[in-house]
Chain A
Amino acid sequence: MIIDSHTHIDEAGFWLDPPETILRLMDEAGIEQAVVMTYRDAPLPGGSDPLAYVADACRRYPRLIGYARMNPRHGEQAVRELERAFRDLGMKGLKLHPVSYIMHPSSPETLELLRTAAAWHAPTLFHCGDEEFTLPYQIAQAAALVPEATIILGHMGGYFHVEDAIQAALTYPNLILETSAMPYPAMIKRAVDLVGAERVLFASDGPGCDPTLEVAKVRAAGLSAAEEELLFSTNIERILARVGR
């Protein structure tokens, strides 16, 4: 059983990836379920509703699990929209990409969204790479300020900040590491050995990153079968089982 904790669907803007694209790649890779989110942040002006788009895809394809990708610059409106996503649209998590909206991960507006997600017992998936506003120790400041939030470091630090992500996770127990796109199988093993297999999630960042290759990366890390099972499914199942309860 494999659940992919980070993939994308969208049909507006720069990348055109309808749900059928990730579903085809999931089949190729032997992945049963996937967390999906748009490339665009909600809310958007002009009537376009990325949250409804994700919710509709999840209704049509029950293998997909929706996260709400939000822009904290919209303040109270963003909080209300996130509430709607959890309450009415069946969303299971919050996605934040600070490069997209240029705001520090510990800004007051961002912390309000983290608190909202935490109130629903829903995880927050942060893009965590090598650019300013996405660095592990920057996101760790948010983790320190909202200890009740479960924060997933997507890409676990990218190319140059993987060790920082591991060290931040050692300091803050509410940080979870996520494997997508990060190119070093050995660092997955290091994360499991230091932080614990219970706090590392498999994800692909598909369809741009090939889910088959991303699965192979985890298998190349030299984990035990029990550890692989935690990464591939048990951990995210445990996290998502609490949402809304």
Chain B
Amino acid sequence: MTDLYDAEVRFGQSLYGYQLDLETLNRQMERHGIARAVLCPVRPPSYDLSPANDAVAAAVASDPTRFVGFARVDPWQGERALAELDRAVGDLGLRGLYLDPWEDHFVISDALVDPLVARAAAGKLPVMVTGGYTNFSHPSQLAALARRHPEATIVATHGGQLNISGLLLADAQIMLRLAPNVIIETSGVYREDFIEDCIAEFGPGRVLFGSGTPIFDQGYETLRIRLAHVDDAVKQQIGWDNIARLVG
């Protein structure tokens, strides 16, 4: 296969110590055969997500043929979060909602999240959620959210499971079974046979490539797709077509 479309790049300077600037990202993408990427805001040291959304929009403007941006908001901010989502989509041209229950300390199945997901769904925006964080975005909690919003497309990062004992593998597959509107993203996922099994059981339309860089290593993450024991047509779907279809 040729180029990949990276569905999850965490862009900017994070409060939590990691950072990724445009020059570094462009260099990495060149090196690893990634032609397009979705940029997701990080929580900046100021704690204020609006400038982070602005920074993503500015990076997208540097090359709109290469980048798409998602908007990050904090559900604890209620109406202000809805207004920021509207601003990020309407004024900045961002094309998805990015929620990070782990870093922003909310439970993804909580009613707090419902207005944001409903608003995203009404605007036909995909909702990407950092998945697999027990107590915050356990696959059973992701499934509960997705079933309350069948009209929304939910992308669960990390396969919806981050557990090196495999304790969440069954829950992630139950999530995919119960909620046909959930798609899993592959960064950091435990066990490559989980990816292959999900493709076999749920179809290649339910899996898409994302690296989660810079928390995860962008080059290494591409190998989960390039080395997968599936044919090239499937790699094309999970490595490019699925996210391209979602973001238009």
Chain A residues with a Cβ under 8 A of chain B: 97, 99, 127, 129-131, 134, 155, 158-159, 181-186, 205, 207-210, 212-213, 216-217, 220
Shortest CB-to-CB span from A21 to chain B, Å, is: 10
CA distance A205 to B135 in the complex (A): 26
CA distance A213 to B224 in the complex (A): 7
Shortest CB-to-CB span from A161 to chain B, Å, is: 10
A183: nearest chain-B partner, CB-CB: B188
Q: Taking the complex as formed, is B165 at the interface, i.e. its CB lies under 8 A from any CB of chain A?
A: yes
CA distance A210 to B219 in the complex (A): 16
Q: How many interface contacts (CB-CB < 8 Å) are there between A and B?
A: 59
Q: A213 touching B192 by the CB < 8 A rule?
A: yes
Residues of A within 8 A of B164 (CB): 129-130, 155, 158-159, 181-182
A208: nearest chain-B partner, CB-CB: B191
B191: nearest chain-A partner, CB-CB: A208
Residues of B within 8 A of A131 (CB): 163, 165, 167
* Nearest 4 Cβ contacts at the A-B interface: A158-B164, A129-B164, A208-B191, A210-B192
Kindly identify, within residues 152 to 209 of chain B, every residue whose CB is under 8 Å from any CB belonging to chain A: 162-167, 188, 190-194
- Residue B216 contacts which of A183, A205, A207, A209 (CB distance < 8 angstroms)? A183
Residues of B within 8 A of A184 (CB): 216-217
Q: Taking the complex as formed, is B220 at the interface, i.e. its CB lies under 8 A from any CB of chain A?
A: yes
Interface extent on B, as a size class?
Answer: 10 to 19
Shortest CB-to-CB span from B193 to chain A, Å, is: 5
- Residue B192 contacts which of A129, A134, A159, A208 (CB distance < 8 angstroms)? A208
CA distance A94 to B219 in the complex (A): 35
Q: A99-B165, A131-B167, A181-B164 are in contact. Are A208 and B193 (CB under 8 A)?
A: yes
B214: nearest chain-A partner, CB-CB: A186
- Residue B167 contacts which of A99, A181, A186 (CB distance < 8 angstroms)? A99
Given A129-B163, A213-B223, 14 other A-B residues pairs in contact with their CB atoms under 8 A: A97-B165, A99-B167, A130-B162, A131-B165, A155-B164, A183-B188, A184-B217, A212-B227, A213-B224, A216-B223, A216-B227, A217-B220, A220-B217, A220-B220
A220: nearest chain-B partner, CB-CB: B220
Q: A185 touching B217 by the CB < 8 A rule?
A: yes
Residues of B within 8 A of A213 (CB): 192, 223-224, 227
CA distance A220 to B100 in the complex (A): 28
